[in-house]
Amino acid sequence: MNAMGNERDAETVSGQPLRVAVGIPTYNRGHVLLATVEQVLAQDPTADEVLVVDQSDWYPDGVRERLEALALQGSIRYVRQDTPNLPMARNRILAETQCSVVIFIDDDVRLSHGFIGAHRSNYENDDVWAVCGRITEEGIPVREVKQRTWPKILDYRYADFGWDRRDENFGTFKGCNHSVRRNVVLDLGGYDETYAGVALREETDMAFRIINAGGRIVFDPEAYLHHMRAPAGGCRVSSWGDWSAGRSVLRFALKHRKLLGRHIWSELWRAYRLGVLNGSNISHPIRIASRSAAFVRELMALSMGR
C-alpha cells in the first residue's frame, strides 16, 4: 500500500473521529465574511479548526478588528497573505492545519444545518478522497435533473451542482463547497498556484489529479450551501472575460489534454472566448488581433511546458 493509503488507515483504524477544518480564503469581502465565519462557528457538530486566509487590501470599519478578536479568543485562526492568489490561499490552509480533512468554502455563503457533519461522514470510507457539496447560486435557477449521458470527466461542464441526487463517483468539485483529505492533496503537490487572477478551473484541476491518482469523489447533497455571489471582492477582476480567465482555462485544457481527449477542442475555444472574444474586446478589432497573438504565444509556451 502506498504512503497515502497508510496515513489514511492510521487515521481510521484507531477508532478516533477524523479532525475536520474549515478553510475560508477571502478577498475584500468585509462584513459578508464575518457573517460566514459566524455561521461556521454556530455549526453543530462544529469544526475542529476554522482558518481564514485574508488576502484583502481594504477593510470596512471594524472587520479586521473583529477577525483579530475572534483569533485572540481562539475561535478562528486568522492568517494574512499579501499576494491575492486563491490556490495559494488553499495551500496555506493545508499547511497551517493538522486536521485530516479540510472543507473549503467561499466567504459569501449560507450554510445548511449539519453542513460540517455531512462532509465529515463521507470520510468513513477510505477510498473517498474528496467531497463535492450541493450548491445553489443566488439569481441562477437549478436546471432539471438529468441522467449522465456524458463522460464523468465532463461533470464540471454538464452537471448542475444544485441537484439533490447523491453521486458516489462524481467527476469534479466546485471551489466554494468541497472538502479533501489533506494528506492526499499535499502528496499530489497541493493546488496549482499558476492559476492566477480569476483562477478558473483551479479546483477542477485538483479534482482531475485526484481521479488520476485513483481517488474517488462523492457528490453529497446533504453538504449544502447557498452561494450568495456577493457583488464585490472574491476572484473578480476588471471583467469576467479577463485574460486571466482565458489563460487559466487554456492551462487546464493543455495540462489535462490526455484525460480530455477530443473534448480539449471545446475547452480551447472557451479559453479563447474568455480571454480574447469577450464583451470588453468584441468591438475593438485591433485589441482582438493583439490578444489573439498573445493567446497563440501562451498556447505554445504552455504546450512546451513553460
pLDDT value, residue 306: 52
pLDDT value, residue 14: 46
pLDDT value, residue 302: 85
Distance between CA atoms of residues 222 and 127, nearest Å: 19
Burial of 57 by CB count in 10 Å (0-12 exposed, 13-18 middle, 19+ buried)? Answer: exposed
pLDDT value, residue 1: 33
Distance between CA atoms of residues 199 and 190, nearest Å: 15
Low-confidence residues of the chain: pLDDT under 70: 1-16, 230-241, 306
Neighbours of 294 (CB within 10 A): 15
Distance between CA atoms of residues 173 and 251, nearest Å: 18
All cell numbers assigned to 212: 488520476
pLDDT value, residue 303: 85
pLDDT value, residue 239: 41
What does pTM read for this prediction?
0.89
Tens digit of pLDDT for each residue in 87-124?
Answer: 999 999 999 999 999 999 999 999 999 999 999 999 99
Tens digit of pLDDT for each residue in 262-293?
Answer: 999 999 999 999 999 888 888 889 989 998 99
232: CB partners within 8 A, 6+ apart: 28, 29
Cα-based distances in Å from 285 to 120, 250, 289: 52, 22, 6
